[in-house]
């Protein structure tokens, strides 16, 4: 059997609604929001206080598990989190993004930074993926990356 499967059919068949695929090409799972009101692009870790929950990744976290996909979801509600594939991620304010660079959790909670060189072992454990887009610096800038974690 061959052919092309359309996005709508793929997402309709992928899961029960608690997981699926974003329009950017990311795979999401649904968690309980424990970040306050969610902000798209925020890097998150598994919550230690809410079952099946996510918290904002602390500065320099070595335990990121995903990137918030939806803005405006209140605490205690289901929130989509991209765990693999393509996602828009919030850059640390004032940082730029360069296509092809390594990406990791910055020294600002929930935010990303990039490096052109091979990271140290400590930095490697902060990895969120690799940049797919060159983006100018600013405030609350989203940049597209290929998400994967160590």
Show Cβ contacts of residue 126 under 8 Å, excluding neighbours closer than 6 positions.
60, 61, 62, 64, 104, 105, 119
Inside any domain, residue 39: yes
**In this predicted model, what pLDDT tens digit does every residue of 129-138 receive, in sequence order?**
999 999 999 9
Q: What percent of the chain has pLDDT over 70?
A: 89
Could you give the number of structural domains in the chain?
Answer: 1
Does residue 109 carry a pLDDT above 80? yes
Inside any domain, residue 2: no
pLDDT band at 150 (very low <50, low <70, confident <90, very high): confident
**In this predicted model, what pLDDT tens digit does every residue of 63-72 receive, in sequence order?**
999 999 999 9
The residue range of the domain holding 99 is 7-147
DSSP single-letter state for residue 139:
S
How many other CB atoms are there within 10 angstroms of residue 90's CB atom?
Answer: 22
We report the CATH number of the domain holding residue 94 as 2.40.300.10
């Amino acid at each position: 059997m061959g052919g092309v499967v359309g996005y709508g059919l793929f997402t309709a068949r992928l899961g029960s609604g608690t997981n699926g695929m974003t329009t950017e090409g990311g795979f999401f799972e649904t968690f309980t929001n424990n970040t306050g009101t969610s902000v798209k692009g925020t890097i998150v870790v598994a919550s230690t206080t809410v079952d099946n929950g996510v918290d904002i990744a602390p500065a320099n976290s070595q335990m990121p598990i995903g990137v918030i996909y939806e803005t405006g979801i209140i605490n205690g509600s289901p929130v989509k989190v991209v765990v693999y594939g393509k996602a828009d991620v919030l850059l640390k304010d004032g940082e730029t993004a360069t296509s092809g660079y390594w990406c990791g959790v910055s020294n600002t909670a929930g935010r990303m930074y990039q490096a052109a060189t091979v990271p140290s072992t400590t930095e490697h454990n902060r990895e969120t993926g690799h940049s797919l887009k060159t983006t100018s610096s600013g405030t609350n800038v989203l940049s597209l990356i290929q998400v994967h974690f160590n």
